[in-house]
Structure formats: structure tokens, C-alpha cells
Amino acid sequence: MSGPLWTSAEIEAATGGTATAPFEVTGVTFDSREVEPGFLFVAMPGTVADGHDFVARAFEKGAVAALVSRPVEGVHVLVDDVPAALEALAVASRARMTGKVFGVTGSVGKTSTKEALAAALARRHPGKVHHSVKSYNNHTGVPLSLARMPRDSVYGVFEMGMNNRGEIAALTRLVRPHVALVTAIAPAHIENLGSMEAIADAKGEIFEGLEPDGTAIIPNDTPYRDRLLKAARRHAETSVTFGSGDADVTALHAVRGDKGGSLVTARLQSADLTFTIAQPGEHWVGNSLAVLAAVDAAGADLAAAGLALGDMGGLKGRGERHLVKVGGGTALLIDESYNANPASMAATLKTLGAERVDGRRLAVLGTMLELGTHSDEAHAGLAPAVLDAGLAELILVGDATRPLAQALGGKLPVTLVANAAEAADALLARLAPGDAVLVKASNGIGLASVVERVAGGAASCST
């Protein structure tokens, strides 16, 4: 980044606030734990804690100023409303951006696809691609991610999530993407939205913020493709589908690679491209097609993007792989602990089933949240995917998974436990050299603690 991220004068102009002294900042955060020297600390109000209570800690860690709604000790910008001021800073950041901006949403794979897209673009423009970190994809995370975008960024990649209708519409109008991508439609958040059609409509809101010459990237392999296309055509100059069948961007050939990934030849809008994917699983073929469709739509470097997909490692909680020392040998632990819904569960179980192992295949599966009245049916519906994966044994976490145990009908050994701690105990008692184990659940179940306990200091790996 050349020059400061923000000057005090720019922050004043954007927010309408008043600075107590001139300053320059190199970063922005509303989490005092993330503060680094040179940062602006945003004192966000909250239902549990108020950011103003952490201003002193932020200054101790090196913050040069704080954005506040009441005077504090230390250099600060005083505003009437901190969340509104952060949003105003986001708007100013987007207004000064002269490069291309991408928006990514979807029920499945949006964070992985966002990370892959950022890596694909950065291969040609290292250090010039800004993207939202973690899952900063909501009404506070998206403004923060925009406010963090360096002024000389060539590309910006932003993830947008939702729990209810109307939320993505508000976010996409802040992001104003040139390319808006929907990864997939699945029954995540169906408890709040009520139907798959409503989920598709909520995801389709991302097109409402498209720039006038914008492109919509839409999954072809969904019953809601035409619904998404209809929504896109109201706002997009161009709509591009990806996936199988008659998709605009499709895999002409895809075979499993020697190291567990895939070798793909894809037909794109402007050219055919042969590339490798480091990540295992058929769902990553679809993710890669979405990424390349977006890269192509922006006129970016396709060859560099293909190379980046071949080098991309696993993401923490979303496919990161660990070799775990077990009794004189090693076992493979696949960390999918961050999120889960029926579609992603089935996809990762299929990947486990294709894994070449010397021992057995095991899985630790926890509750899928936010399914409402569909929960029992959705959990029971995983039985075919579990059986097809060729598991030797299954550990289920949480009483909501009981319908899956019942649907399996005793066809393989199942252990039902109450929580993550019991799941770790059960897995450690069973894990043997040569085994491969998948750990997956909604983040709220806390199975990341199972990964941490079982993997310990094990290094991530590619196999």
C-alpha cells in the first residue's frame, strides 16, 4: 500500500466527524484484539459490549486514533453514530476505487470461492487485490472490509451473507460490484426464509447493486437458475452461467489428479483453459468454474488464475487437511468445521469417499443449524451420502443428528455424543494409522475444538 489508508481529513470529510488532531492510519478494525500499530479503532456499540470500553486497550496496542460517538482520552474522531460513520467510510472507500470490484454470495462455498477468486486475481497483481477476511460478510463486516481497501487496489473481492431477505440488497449497494457471483442455492437459513425460492430471491439481491455494465455469474446446476437469471436481467448487462449441461462456462473434461485434486479443461467465454485444482472434491470443480467465469468477465488474466488454483492450499475450517500422528503412523484429518448445510455435507462426504486411504474412513458430523422445521428431514436425508462414502464408523454430535442415526438403520456403527468435547474423546479412542476422518458441522456446534485437540500441532498438508 502506497501512502496512508486514511488521513484524519479524509475521515472527517467522509463521516462528518471532528478530529481532535491530525493523523494518518494504516488499518481499520472494530475488534481491539486485531489492533496493530497505526490502526484506527472503531468503537462499535453492541448488545453485549460497547467498543468505547475498549478504546484504552486499543491505544495500548498502538492505535493512533479512535472513531467514537463520545469523547475519550486520546486522539479521536467524534461522530454522532459510529455504525453510520463506518458505513460512510465504506462508501468513500468504494468511491475512490478505480479498479474492478467483485461481489460473492451463495448458500454453499461463498467463502472458499471468494478466497480462490482473490488468489486468482493476485497471481497477476500481487499485493494489489483486497478481499474481505474471515467471514466478514454482514452489515458490519462488509463496511469494515470496504473501509480497509487500499486506495491503490486493482481489484476488490467482497463476500456478502444474509439471514433474512433485504440484507444482501443493502450490502451490494455499498459494494457496487462490477461482477456479482452466486455460488449455489441450498437450504441454509431456511428457518428464517421459509422456502428455497425465498432463499434464491434473497441471494439474487446481489445483482441489485451491479454497476451499469455489470456481469452476473449464476450457477447452472440448480432448479433456481431461471429465477436467478430473471433477477439478474433487471440489473446486469451480461449474465453468465457456470456448471454442467448447457452452461456458458463448463468443464469439458475433469479427472482426479494424482494428489487428490483435479485436472480440468474448461470452456470459457473467451477461450478454453486446462488447469489443475489443488483442492480435492467435485464441488471444487464447480467453484473453479465460478472463479474463472468471474475472472473472464473482468478481462483479467485467465492463465494466471489457472496457476493460482493449482497452488491454493486448504482454508481453516473449510477443507484444511492435517496429518495427525497416531500410534507410530499418521492419519488424515479434514477440517470442515466452520459451516454445514445439506448440500455441503453431501459434497464433502463424497470427497471423503474418494479419498485413497490405507486404513478406514471415519466422520464426525455435527448438527446443521438454522433449518427450523426442516431439520429432521435434512439430517435424515444425509443417510445416502454417508453410506456412499464408505465409512467404517460415524460419530454424530448433538441430539438434532438423531434422525440421521435412525435413517442409517444400523448399516454402520454410529456413536451419538452430546458435544464437541465428547466427540473429541470418541474420535481419539478410535483413530488409527492410515485412517481419514472428516469433521464437519455448523460453526455454532464448536467442532473446531475437535480439530484443535486432535490435530494439535500437526501441519496442514496437501495429499
pTM: 0.79
272 and 212 belong to one structural domain:
yes
Q: Does 460 reside within a domain?
A: no
Gap between the Cα atoms of 432 and 420, Å rounded: 20
Q: Does 463 reside within a domain?
A: no
Gap between the Cα atoms of 279 and 354, Å rounded: 13
**CB 9: neighbour CB atoms within 10 A?**
12
Gap between the Cα atoms of 151 and 212, Å rounded: 22
Alpha helices in 180-281 (DSSP H): 190-193, 196-204, 225-233
CB 235 within 8 A of CB 178: no
352 and 307 belong to one structural domain:
no
Residues in CB range of 64: below 8 A, 6 or more apart: 23, 24, 25, 37, 38, 39, 40, 75
349 and 220 belong to one structural domain:
no
208 and 234 belong to one structural domain:
yes
* Grid cell of 295 as nine digits: 475472472
218 and 267 belong to one structural domain:
yes
Gap between the Cα atoms of 111 and 428, Å rounded: 30
**CA within 13 Å, CB half, 444:** 6
pLDDT of residue 46: 82
Question: Last residue of a domain, which of 264, 283, 311?
Answer: 311
* Grid cell of 239 as nine digits: 449474465
pLDDT of residue 460: 44
351 is in an annotated binding site: no
328 and 372 belong to one structural domain:
yes
List own/partner pairs for 55-58 with CB under 8 A and 24 or more apart. 57/32, 58/32
CB 156 within 8 A of CB 195: no
**Count of domains observed in the chain:** 3
Q: Phi and psi for 100 in degrees, rounded to 5?
A: -100, 140
Three-state DSSP at 183 gives: coil
401 and 287 belong to one structural domain:
no
Q: Which domain holds residue 147?
A: 97-311
Question: Last residue of a domain, which of 279, 311, 343?
Answer: 311
Q: Does 461 reside within a domain?
A: no
38 is in an annotated binding site: no
Three-state DSSP at 324 gives: strand
Helix, strand, coil proportions of the chain in percent (round to 5)?
40, 25, 40
The CATH number linked to 50 is: 3.40.1390.10
pLDDT of residue 48: 82
144 and 274 belong to one structural domain:
yes
330 and 302 belong to one structural domain:
no
pLDDT of residue 430: 94
Q: Does 88 reside within a domain?
A: no
Q: Which residues of the chain have pLDDT under 50?
A: 457-463
Alpha helices in 210-341 (DSSP H): 225-233, 282-297, 302-311
Cα–Cα distances (Å) from 120 to 18, 34, 286, 296, in that order, read 40, 26, 15, 11
CB 4 within 8 A of CB 26: yes
Q: What is the DSSP string of 96-122?
A: H--SEEEEEE-SSSHHHHHHHHHHHHH
232 and 137 belong to one structural domain:
yes
* Grid cell of 157 as nine digits: 473481492
pLDDT of residue 328: 86
pLDDT of residue 1: 57
Residues in CB range of 384: below 8 A, 6 or more apart: none
454 is in an annotated binding site: no
Q: Does 262 reside within a domain?
A: yes
* Grid cell of 300 as nine digits: 483479467
168 and 208 belong to one structural domain:
yes
Q: Quick one: how far is CA 56 from the chain centroid?
A: 32
Q: Which residues pair with 73 in a beta bridge?
A: none
Q: Does 29 reside within a domain?
A: yes
Question: Last residue of a domain, which of 251, 283, 311?
Answer: 311
* Grid cell of 37 as nine digits: 500499530
Q: Phi and psi for 127 in degrees, rounded to 5?
A: 80, 0
Q: Does 90 reside within a domain?
A: no
Residues in CB range of 191: below 8 A, 6 or more apart: 370, 371, 372, 373, 374
Give residue 342's identity as a one-letter amino acid code. P
The CATH number linked to 343 is: 3.90.190.20
Residue 188: name the closest of 32, 344, 30, 415 by CA.
Answer: 344
Through-space distance between the first and last CA atoms of the chain, rounded to whole angstroms? 35
Burial class of residue 263 in the structure, from the number of CB atoms within 10 Å of its CB (0-12 exposed, 13-18 middle, 19+ buried): middle
112 is in an annotated binding site: yes
**CB 377: neighbour CB atoms within 10 A?**
13
Residues in CB range of 258: below 8 A, 6 or more apart: none
The CATH number linked to 166 is: 3.40.1190.10
446 is in an annotated binding site: no
**CB 364: neighbour CB atoms within 10 A?**
29
Q: Does 50 reside within a domain?
A: yes
Q: What is the DSSP letter of 367?
A: P
Gap between the Cα atoms of 77 and 135, Å rounded: 27
59 and 101 belong to one structural domain:
no
Q: What is the DSSP letter of 400?
A: G
* Grid cell of 162 as nine digits: 444474509
